[in-house]
C-alpha cells in the first residue's frame, strides 16, 4: 500500500486509514472481530487509525483501540462532541481539550497521541484559545501534531494566520467529508489546504453507505437502522428530494463501475484517492468482509475518461444533499437573518 506525506510534517501515512467508529455500539459489538479487523489492516499495510472521544462511550470500541500498536503506527484522535450532560462537557475550550486529551491517553493506554484533531469548527470559541491549549499539549509531549476537521475554508485560513501571528502550533491537516456524492470541498477547502501545505484526511468515501451497494433503485431499502444513521436521518430519508438524487447517482455509478470492471465500492474510494490534494481516505468497516472489499481500491487507478463521466453524473464542487457537508454556516440560520 502506498504511503503519502502528511503535509509538511515529515510523517508518512498509508493512503487508507482505518476508522474506528464502527467498533462498538454503532457497528460491530464483537470485540474479537474488531481485533481481527485491526490486525488484517496492519497486514495490508495500513499504519494509521482514526478514533474520537465519543467512540469511547462503547466499551468494545474502547478496548479494541487499546490493541493498536501505538509505537509502530499513527494514531489520530479528535474531540468536540458531547461526552455527557452539562454545557462544559464538549467543545473546543482550553478546559475541555486538556481534559479530553488526558482521558484519551488513559483510554488508549499510551503516553502520547500522534495527531489530535478538533472535530468541528466552533465560531463562539476564539481560535487562539484552542490553539493555545493544543500548543501546550504538544510542548508537554502528550500530542505530536494537531489538525482540524470539517472546518470551512475561512476558518482554516484564520487558524493558520493565528498560529503564525501568535507563534502557536498550526493545524497540519484537515479532515473533511469527501465522496463522489459529497464534493463540496473541491470548491475551496482542498485548494486552501494545498496552499498552506496541509495534509487532507477525508472521511466517508462511500458516502455513509450510499455507495456501498446497499442503496439501489428498486430495492427494498429499509430506513436508518444503526445508531449513527438514526442520528443522521436527514441524510437517509428517501422522501427527501436530495436523497432521491443520491439514490439516482448511486445507481448510475454502479453501472459505470460495472462497465469499468470495478466494484461499486472500489470506484468511489479510488475516486477520493485520485485527487492530488488528498493524503488518505478513512474507511470504516464493520466486518472483515467489508474491509476485504475496500482494500483493493488502494490499487485502482481511474483514467481521465472515467473521471469525466463521474463529473457528468455529479458536478465538481457539488454536495447532492447539503446536510452531508458536515458543517452548517450559522450565518444562514433564521435568527442570524433576523427573520
CATH number of 3-325: 3.20.20.100
Contact 151, 327 (CB under 8 A): yes
How do residues 231-264 score in pLDDT, each as one tens digit? 566 888 888 999 999 999 999 999 999 999 999 9
Distance set, CA 198 to CA 107, 117, 132, 211 (Å)? 28, 13, 19, 27
Compute the distance between CA of residue 70 and CA of residue 99 in angstroms, rounded to an integer: 21
How do residues 101-124 score in pLDDT, each as one tens digit? 998 888 888 899 999 999 889 888
270-287 average pLDDT score: 96
284-302 average pLDDT score: 95
Domain ranges, ordered by start, for the chain: 3-325
DSSP string, 116-148: EEE-S--TTS-HHHHHHHHHHHHHTTSEEEEEE
Phi and psi angles of residue 297, each rounded to the nearest 5 degrees, phi first: -60, -25
10-39 average pLDDT score: 82
220-224, 270-274, 315-319: range with lowest mean pLDDT: 220-224
**12: closest CA among 37, 38, 48, 41?**
48
292-302 average pLDDT score: 97
75-100 average pLDDT score: 68
233-237 long-range contacts, CB within 8 A, separation 24+: 234/321, 234/323, 235/208, 235/321, 235/323, 235/324, 236/208
Greater pLDDT, 285 or 24: 285
Compute the distance between CA of residue 117 and CA of residue 85 in angstroms, rounded to an integer: 22
19-27 average pLDDT score: 70
* pTM of the shown model: 0.88
Q: Provide the pLDDT confidence category of residue 332 given band limits of 50, 70 and 90.
A: confident
| Beta strand spans in 235-288 (E) | 280-283
* Residues that are catalytic: 55
Contact 216, 252 (CB under 8 A): no
Expressed in angstroms, the distance from the first to the final Cα of the chain is 53
Sequence-distant (6+) residues with CB within 8 A of 334 are none
Greater pLDDT, 62 or 309: 309
Which set of grid coordinates corresponds to residue 38? Answer: 485491526
Greater pLDDT, 222 or 87: 87
How do residues 114-166 score in pLDDT, each as one tens digit? 999 998 898 889 999 999 999 999 999 999 999 999 999 999 999 999 999 99
Compute the distance between CA of residue 245 and CA of residue 180 in angstroms, rounded to an integer: 12
- Report whether pLDDT(194) > 80: yes
* β-pair type (199-202, 171-175): parallel
Amino acid at each position: 500500500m502506498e504511503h503519502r506525506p502528511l503535509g509538511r510534517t515529515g510523517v508518512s501515512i498509508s493512503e487508507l486509514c482505518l476508522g474506528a467508529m464502527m467498533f462498538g455500539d454503532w457497528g460491530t459489538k464483537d470485540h474479537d472481530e474488531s481485533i481481527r479487523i485491526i490486525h488484517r489492516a496492519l497486514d495490508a499495510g495500513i499504519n494509521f487509525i482514526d478514533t474520537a472521544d465519543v467512540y469511547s462511550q462503547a466499551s468494545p470500541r474502547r478496548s479494541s483501540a487499546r490493541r493498536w500498536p501505538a509505537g509502530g503506527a499513527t494514531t489520530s484522535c479528535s474531540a468536540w462532541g458531547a461526552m455527557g450532560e452539562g454545557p462544559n462537557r464538549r467543545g473546543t475550550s482550553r478546559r475541555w481539550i486538556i481534559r479530553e486529551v488526558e482521558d484519551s491517553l488513559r483510554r488508549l493506554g499510551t503516553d502520547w497521541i500522534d495527531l489530535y484533531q478538533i472535530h468541528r469548527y466552533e465560531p463562539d470559541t476564539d481560535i487562539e484559545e484552542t490553539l493555545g491549549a493544543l500548543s501546550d499539549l504538544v510542548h508537554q509531549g502528550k500530542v505530536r501534531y494537531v489538525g482540524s476537521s470539517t472546518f470551512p475554508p475561512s476558518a482554516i485560513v484564520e487558524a493558520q494566520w493565528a498560529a503564525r501571528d501568535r507563534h502557536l502550533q498550526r493545524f497540519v491537516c484537515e479532515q473533511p467529508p469527501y465522496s463522489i456524492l459529497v464534493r463540496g470541498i473541491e470548491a475551496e477547502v482542498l485548494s486552501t489546504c494545498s496552499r498552506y501545505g496541509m495534509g487532507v484526511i477525508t472521511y466517508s468515501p462511500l458516502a455513509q453507505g450510499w455507495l456501498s451497494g446497499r442503496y439501489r433503485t428498486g430495492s427494498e431499502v429499509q430506513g436508518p437502522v444503526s445508531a449513527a444513521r438514526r442520528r443522521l436521518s436527514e441524510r437517509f430519508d428517501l422522501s427527501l428530494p436530495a436523497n432521491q438524487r443520491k439514490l439516482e447517482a448511486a445507481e448510475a455509478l454502479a453501472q459505470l463501475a460495472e462497465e469499468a470492471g470495478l466494484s461499486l465500492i472500489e470506484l468511489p474510494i479510488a475516486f477520493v484517492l485520485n485527487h492530488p490534494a488528498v493524503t488518505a481516505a478513512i474507511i470504516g468497516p464493520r466486518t472483515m468482509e467489508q474491509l476485504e472489499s475496500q482494500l483493493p481500491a488502494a490499487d485502482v487507478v481511474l483514467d481521465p475518461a472515467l473521471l469525466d463521466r463521474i463529473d457528468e453524473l455529479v458536478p465538481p464542487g457539488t454536495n447532492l444533499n447539503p446536510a452531508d457537508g458536515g458543517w452548517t454556516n450559522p450565518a444562514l440560520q433564521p435568527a442570524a437573518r433576523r427573520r
